[in-house]
Amino acid sequence: SAVISQKPSRDICQRGTSLTIQCQVDSQVTMMFWYRQQPGQSLTLIATANQGSEATYESGFVIDKFPISRPNLTFSTLTVSNMSPEDSSIYLCSVEYGVRTDTQYFGPGTRLTVL
């Protein structure tokens, strides 16, 4: 599997601001995903990042709050907009290689704290 990196690894932000999280893979992948892990909780899929088109969001997540870009096959960003303390979570990107391999590999995560 390839190397997946995320920036920043952690951040502390003020409410009302926005943070953009980057996910970089060192080889081309077919699928990229963004997950949220709230404190002490399991992972919840936010959206699938589609290359060259709008992301596909899961129920309960909207583009205005979590805009996502994927300009190419190795890079994606997730923005957490107009943050509130409830957005304090770990945000993880994951990737899938090939077509319907059904196996995802995760980045190290970005730990976000909103004050």
Residue 27 or 84: the one with the smaller Cβ distance to other proteins is: 27
Q: Which residue in the set 29, 31, 80, 112 belongs to the binding site for other proteins (CB under 8 A)?
A: 31
92 lines the binding site for other proteins (CB under 8 A): yes
Report d(CA 87, CA 76) in Å as an integer: 20
Q: What is the chain's length?
A: 115
Q: Minimal distance in Å, beta carbon 67 to other proteins? A: 20
Residue 17 or 41: the one with the smaller Cβ distance to other proteins is: 41
Cα angle for residues 107, 110, 113 (degrees, 5° grid): 160
The residues binding other proteins (CB under 8 A) are 6, 31, 33, 41-45, 48, 92, 94, 96, 100-109
